[in-house]
Structure 1
């Protein structure tokens, strides 16, 4: 029980205590001033509940369907890049998610291959950036199909600002001997973390899901550089991919109602209201503030997901009440992974499950499908609507 924690905040505290300073700072950084990062979290605190006291349901059901997959929870693992907070990385996360019946999002920039992760969790969705020409994009999608991915998540909320990481340390291009020696003092101050990686080998910061056929896996910065210099996709490019990928497709990064409608037009099955966890264009409002307008714009034509600032089960309940089908969590499970590996991720997922259950009970709902806008107290001026010409 000494390894168990009762809140995501405690997982965060343990992760900060365990991780080397630069690794920890890479997890918590946001763009420029961090305005969006802070608003993502603060906005949930502005929303209120008015719980009932009698006639409450004795049993509550959290199961839902996302991208055609029946899942036990409306919480999904958001895809995040190289997970150097724990030696088992994405595989540990996938195993914990599988135990909890939770869908797994795997990043193109992950440190473990899609084949390894799907072996650990069959309910895996592969996330892609638009990197390289159309043939390269399609080749990665086909690899995901062959591996057994249940859908694609196409992430488009990234503007390559040079001052992207507010407070974030520089990330080394590769873990050569010189880099390891320079990193050694930080590692020695965190012996538990260092011991785990010494046993398994220090992370090499490569991206096995970005490797072209017959080539070695590029470094994180090699893949990032190619992405950075790839022209951003057009709506025609997205329609082209939709025509060639016949599985479920989600477009992640929506903040505007007009973009949401365009995503519907190109045939997306789901969209995610997202500002990349506060790491895209700073001063973008919190995702939860933008959610209602996006839901109003698309109705039931497409599943609407949300990510950004979700730290509690009550946050999930608020997002679902305002129209989201499910949420994706990022930093929360990474803190669990850093704190206690696979068990820590499962711990975090259980915390969310308990929080959602408490919210459903107090609001008198027997399932997450019953949540509605009237279950949330929304203060005047809370939502943000993008003006559209």
Structure 2
């Protein structure tokens, strides 16, 4: 028989803990997010289908995106034990400039459609965390306004080559004048990928008030209130487009671009050039031979050619081929700090993240982007400690097995 008794108040009192009430609804939402997946779920609840799916979706059957995420999920870490990991150093150098973390906030188009704070929120979060930020040609905040919002950030400008080369040169020159240090030339969009979610949602730039979007807006009144009562979207490249994003890309982008176009870009841009969209070892060699100071292994987040190579799986062979001659970055499928650690171990110098911070932006504006950065960086530090390394330079291929 178990002998029972009434507990004493002195025994109960330590167990009764009051929790501070958080009155700010944004802080309350974000505090519940422990992963990027949590931020995604919050973002989906708070954002209309068209802008959410523009961020979340990929091309055709979205196989490329699933494969990229699956590659990170399947890999095996090989930790080293009995190491002093009391001091973790995540700092590195990216394109000659110091960065607190091996993370670059990737260029994303139409960012103010996700949340009215848009690119300003992202560059301010990048400044807080001491990492580079890349503004897209298809951004919704001007080159100069982004520069003013993040004066201390290492700012990059991402360029698509348009059929009108003069307009592209003007953007490049404005970026240089505003203090941007690095140009990302994206080369995997000769034509638009089949982004079927956008087609099904009737995605237009800016969003149109159709019956469908009106009904969707009734479920997301805060988003529409912010959209309609803040400054209109301002694009670096256009003011309005009566059609889908794919129609716009096919109309404006130059499908005749070749490696020779690097010549006029070099003439217009005095800074460093990074080529984004590399998907084979041979193309990595070609652009490095042409003088690229960096390359991004990327299938455009799965948004262009479906069933394209998985950047993480391509990384070891590219690192072996050109890693001693250029900096190598990777994107697509990165949703955690452990993903970042794995990419660094396999030969990347840094990782670009886009969707991850956009989920945070939709979940809570600038504070949501900062929460995404906090999640990624804390996961990275923890993964490094558990692997038994003190700095990002100590991550090697021996720490990861691709499966």
Q: Same fold (TM over 0.5)?
A: yes
CA contact (8 A) 2:193 2:305 kept: no
In structure 1, list runs of 5 or more residues that go unmatched.
212-216, 380-389
Report the alpha carbon displacement of residue 378 of structure 1 after superposing the two structures with TM. Answer: 2.3
Report the alpha carbon displacement of residue 185 of structure 1 after superposing the two structures with TM. Answer: 1.5
CA contact (8 A) 1:67 1:249 kept: no
Task: Tell me the distance in 2 between the aligned counterparts of 1:138 and 1:107.
Answer: 15
Q: Secondary structure at the match of 2:295?
A: strand
Aligned partner of 2:130 among 92, 101, 105: 101
Task: Tell me the distance in 2 between the aligned counterparts of 1:299 and 1:53.
Answer: 28
In structure 2, list runs of 5 or more residues that go unmatched.
1-26
**Cα RMSD after superposing both structures:** 2.0
1-10 or 12-21: which moved more?
A: 1-10
Q: Aligned pair in 2 of structure 1 residues 76, 260: CA closer, same or farther (>3 Å)?
A: same
Any idea what the Cα deviations from partners look like across 1:42-61, whole Å, max 9, x if unmatched?
Answer: 11011111223422321111
Report the alpha carbon displacement of residue 156 of structure 1 after superposing the two structures with TM. Answer: 0.9
Q: Secondary structure at the match of 2:60?
A: coil
Report the alpha carbon displacement of residue 293 of structure 1 after superposing the two structures with TM. Answer: 1.4
Residue equivalent to 1:385: none
Task: Tell me the distance in 2 between the aligned counterparts of 1:242 and 1:273.
Answer: 21
CA contact (8 A) 1:94 1:120 kept: yes
Aligned partner of 1:2 among 18, 28, 43: 28
Report the alpha carbon displacement of residue 183 of structure 1 after superposing the two structures with TM. Answer: 2.1
CA contact (8 A) 1:291 1:322 kept: yes
Structure 1 residue 66 and structure 2 residue 98: aligned?
no
Q: TM-score, normalised by structure 2?
A: 0.86
Task: Tell me the distance in 1 between the aligned counterparts of 2:290 and 2:214.
Answer: 49
**In the TM superposition, what are the counterparts of 1:218-367 in structure 2 within 5 Å?**
218-219=240-241, 224-228=249-253, 230-367=254-391
Q: Secondary structure at the match of 2:265?
A: helix
Q: Aligned pair in 2 of structure 1 residues 293, 159: CA closer, same or farther (>3 Å)?
A: same
Structure 1 residue 199 and structure 2 residue 229: aligned?
yes
CA contact (8 A) 2:59 2:193 kept: no
Residue equivalent to 1:187: 217
Report the alpha carbon displacement of residue 181 of structure 1 after superposing the two structures with TM. Answer: 6.0
Residue equivalent to 2:203: 171
Task: Tell me the distance in 1 between the aligned counterparts of 2:226 and 2:336.
Answer: 29
**Highest Rg: 1 or 2?**
2
Residue equivalent to 2:44: 16
Residue equivalent to 1:124: 155
CA contact (8 A) 2:191 2:250 kept: no
Residue equivalent to 1:210: 237
16-25 or 271-280: which moved more?
A: 16-25
Q: TM-score, normalised by structure 1?
A: 0.89
Q: Secondary structure at the match of 2:401?
A: coil
Residue equivalent to 1:153: 184
Report the alpha carbon displacement of residue 162 of structure 1 after superposing the two structures with TM. Answer: 6.0
CA contact (8 A) 1:129 1:227 kept: no
Task: Tell me the distance in 1 between the aligned counterparts of 2:167 and 2:187.
Answer: 17
Report the alpha carbon displacement of residue 240 of structure 1 after superposing the two structures with TM. Answer: 3.2
Any idea what the Cα deviations from partners look like across 1:263-295, whole Å, max 9, x if unmatched?
Answer: 112211100000000011111122111111111
Report the alpha carbon displacement of residue 233 of structure 1 after superposing the two structures with TM. Answer: 1.3
Task: Tell me the distance in 2 between the aligned counterparts of 1:365 and 1:48.
Answer: 16
Q: Secondary structure at the match of 2:107?
A: coil
Q: Aligned pair in 2 of structure 1 residues 146, 131: CA closer, same or farther (>3 Å)?
A: same
Report the alpha carbon displacement of residue 377 of structure 1 after superposing the two structures with TM. Answer: 1.8
Aligned partner of 2:71 among 21, 31, 43: 43
Report the alpha carbon displacement of residue 236 of structure 1 after superposing the two structures with TM. Answer: 0.9
Task: Tell me the distance in 2 between the aligned counterparts of 1:299 and 1:90.
Answer: 31
239-248 or 7-16: which moved more?
A: 239-248
Residue equivalent to 2:9: none
Q: Aligned pair in 2 of structure 1 residues 194, 161: CA closer, same or farther (>3 Å)?
A: closer
Report the alpha carbon displacement of residue 174 of structure 1 after superposing the two structures with TM. Answer: 4.4
Report the alpha carbon displacement of residue 159 of structure 1 after superposing the two structures with TM. Answer: 4.3
